[in-house]
């Protein structure tokens, strides 16, 4: 066990690589990266992989933003308190829950139609099977659809575009 007299703050600060710590824009940029890959990918398998990356990045945006909103500020004694504005913005789109018995655990679930669909698709591609992607026309990737039954597919690019716009909007409104 390290005693407080054994802790060298100066050494710790000198060894801490601040450049390794992502800023609050990182998840938004990750979503933008995967969307840019989707927007130019015409190979069905590669499109599916980029779609999985986009879904996970979008989900992670909501999870990490909710967690940060719970612990973003501290009082004079170092005790965290919630960012009410940030949580208010998020709660228009996702349900945010903090466990009473484990306050460091913050979880989100879809609330709006768009985020419910995002969470459902992300759950399928993460916890079940790879997503089924159909080619419904010659204009790829715009004509890729989620599903395996012709006529019942969900156009992917418009959906992802709407999700990305929501994430960018939330991020701008929270303004961290």
Tell whether 14 is covered by a domain.
no
- pLDDT over threshold 80, residue 104: yes
Tell whether 145 is covered by a domain.
yes
Give the model's confidence band at 176: pLDDT under 50 very low, under 70 low, under 90 confident, else very high: confident
The predicted structure's pLDDT at residue 2: 52
Q: Which residue(s) pair with 107 in the sheet? A: 97
Tell whether 74 is covered by a domain.
yes
Give the model's confidence band at 71: pLDDT under 50 very low, under 70 low, under 90 confident, else very high: confident
Q: What tokens appear for 131 in the block?
A: 């997503």
Give the model's confidence band at 171: pLDDT under 50 very low, under 70 low, under 90 confident, else very high: very high
DSSP label at residue 132: P
What lies within 8 Å, CB to CB, of 122 at 6+ separation is 55, 56, 58, 59
Tell whether 5 is covered by a domain.
no
The pLDDT mean for the chain works out to: 90
Q: Which residue(s) pair with 80 in the sheet? A: 74
Tell whether 84 is covered by a domain.
yes
Helices (H) and strands (E) in the chain, counts: 6, 7
What is the total count of domains within the chain? 1
The predicted structure's pLDDT at residue 3: 57
The predicted structure's pLDDT at residue 14: 79
* Rounded Cα–Cα distance for residues 83 and 28 (Å): 19
Which domain covers residue 35, as residue numbers?
Answer: 26-170
Tell whether 68 is covered by a domain.
yes
- Mean pLDDT for 54-71 is 94
Give the model's confidence band at 99: pLDDT under 50 very low, under 70 low, under 90 confident, else very high: confident
The predicted structure's pLDDT at residue 165: 98
Q: pLDDT tens digits for 121-150?
A: 999 888 888 899 999 999 999 999 999 999
């Amino acid at each position: 066990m390290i005693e407080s007299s054994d802790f060298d703050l100066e050494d710790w600060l000198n060894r801490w690589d601040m450049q390794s710590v992502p800023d609050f824009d990182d998840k938004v940029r990750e979503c933008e990266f995967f969307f840019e890959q989707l927007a130019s990918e015409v190979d069905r398998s590669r499109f599916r992989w980029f779609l999985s990356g986009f879904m996970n990045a979008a989900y992670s945006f909501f999870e990490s933003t909710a967690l940060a909103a719970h612990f973003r500020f501290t009082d004079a004694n170092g005790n965290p308190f919630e960012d009410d504005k940030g949580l208010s913005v998020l709660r228009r789109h996702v349900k945010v829950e903090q466990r009473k018995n484990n306050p460091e655990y913050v979880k989100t679930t879809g609330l709006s139609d768009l985020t419910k669909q995002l969470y459902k698709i992300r759950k399928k591609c993460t916890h079940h099977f790879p997503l089924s992607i159909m080619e419904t026309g010659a204009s790829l990737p715009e004509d890729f659809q989620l599903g395996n039954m012709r006529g019942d597919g969900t156009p992917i690019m418009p959906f992802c575009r709407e999700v990305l716009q929501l994430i960018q909007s939330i991020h701008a409104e929270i303004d961290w």
